[in-house]
Amino acid sequence: MMKTRRTGAVVLTYLCLVSGAICCLIPLLWLVRSSLMSTEDMFKLPLIFFPKKIRFQNYAEVFTMVPFAKFYANTIFVVTFNIFGALISNLMIAYGLTRIEFKGRKLMFSLSIGTLMLPAYVQLIPLFIEWNWFGKINTFFPLIVPAFFGNAFFIFMLCQFLRTIPRDFDEAAFMDGANYPLIIAKIILPLAKPAMAVVAIFQFMFTWNDFMGPLLFLNDREKFTLAIGIRTFISTYYTPWGVLMAAATLTILPLIVLFFSAQKFFISGLTLGGIKG
């Protein structure tokens, strides 16, 4: 009696997990499958599950129909600067907040964490007005500059991490006559490499996926990033579905590659950021 109940529970567990996994994967597989089909084949009933004639041409047309290579280059440009900015600013800030004792640091930490609770979209219109005053609409500045001012999520995560490094390290360096910038660069940075990798990876993902920023700040198609570039395929008159699916696949490809090559950083980033709330 007890034994059959056990087996039943195990079978049910696997059943749930496998069906969950199928639900996660099917939409993605369907995306890739559709990206290899001609639009006529996609609109045939009964549905063709596996295309007989694989149409790689969709992937070529992605680049000829719109300046997709330019979108790619723009995205990589913006992402690179964002990662650079995030790495420098967040490490500096987190060091200042955790390893130097001075009045006001607790308040600044709380203020920073408080911004996590702000709905970001409330600030978007005033930010647009602000960048309009600076005369920087339709440039990459609004998408890049804010990354150099720290991000609450990363600050919180790095603070958690820096607290695990013994303070004796800094102290010993002071004895040898080092100053704060030197300590950060020579002692903290090498130790914080795994945490910095998490920052870089998540910043990559945030920027790569950002839709609202480019939508507000960029006007010329030549300046589009991938996220808003995809939308140029959709039109009320004619949407080339196969090509659109190919463009979508090309957009997520770098993310998937990154994920599989750096999976452990994703997991540790999520758990560091999401657990200690």
- What residues from 208 to 267 belong to the interface with another protein (CB under 8 A)? 208-209, 211-212, 216, 227-228, 230-231, 234, 241, 244-245, 248, 251-252, 255-256, 259, 263, 266-267
CB 137 within 8 A of CB 219: yes
| Number of residues this chain uses to bind another protein (CB under 8 A) | 91
Of 11, 118, 182, 185, the one binding another protein (CB under 8 A) is: 118
Are 252 and 230 in contact, with CB atoms under 8 Å apart? no
Q: Can you tell me which residue has the tokens 């079978």?
A: 11
End-to-end, the C-alpha distance of the chain in Å comes to 43
Binding part of the chain for another protein, among 54-62, 146-154, 157-165, 187-195 by CB under 8 A, reads 146-154
Residue 161: what residue type? F
Q: How far apart (Å, rounded) are the C-alpha atoms in residues 15 and 251?
A: 32
Q: Which of 20, 69, 186, 221 binds another protein (CB under 8 A)?
A: 20
- At 66, which amino acid appears? V
Residues 123-142 that bind another protein (CB under 8 A): 123, 125-130, 132
**Taking CB under 8 A as the rule, does residue 7 contact another protein?**
no
For 117-175, give the DSSP string. GS-GGGTHHHHHHHHHHTT-TTSSHHHHGGGGG--HHHHHHHHHHHTTS-THHHHHHHH
Should residue 182 be labelled a site residue for another protein when binding is judged by CB under 8 A? no
Is-cis flag, bond preceding 46, omega within 30? yes
- Encoded one letter per residue, x for contact with another protein by CB under 8 A and - for no contact, window 42-61 reads xx-xxx--------------
CA distance 233 to 65: 8
Q: How far is the CB of 244 from another protein (least distance, A)?
A: 6
- Tally helices (H) and strands (E) across the chain: 16, 0
- For residue 110, the minimal CB distance to another protein (Å) is 11
8 A C-beta contact, residue 189 and residue 169: no
Binding segment toward another protein, per CB under 8 A, in 55-63, 116-124, 158-166, 191-199: 116-124
Provide the minimum distance between the beta carbon of 197 and another protein in the complex, in angstroms, as a whole number: 17
Q: What Rg value do the Cα atoms of the chain yield, rounded?
A: 24
67 binds another protein (CB under 8 A): no
Residues 73-102, one symbol each (x = binds another protein by CB under 8 A, - = not), give ----------------x--xx-xxx--xxx
CB 195 within 8 A of CB 128: no
Under the binding rule (CB under 8 A), the answer on residue 121 touching another protein is: yes
Closest C-alpha among 276, 90, 81 to residue 199: 90
In the complex, what is the shortest distance from the CB of residue 187 to another protein, in angstroms, rounded to a whole number? 14
Part of the chain binding another protein (CB under 8 A), chosen from 55-63, 65-73, 156-164, 269-277: 269-277
In whole angstroms, the minimum distance from the beta carbon of 116 to another protein comes to 7
Q: Does 194 bind another protein (CB under 8 A)?
A: no
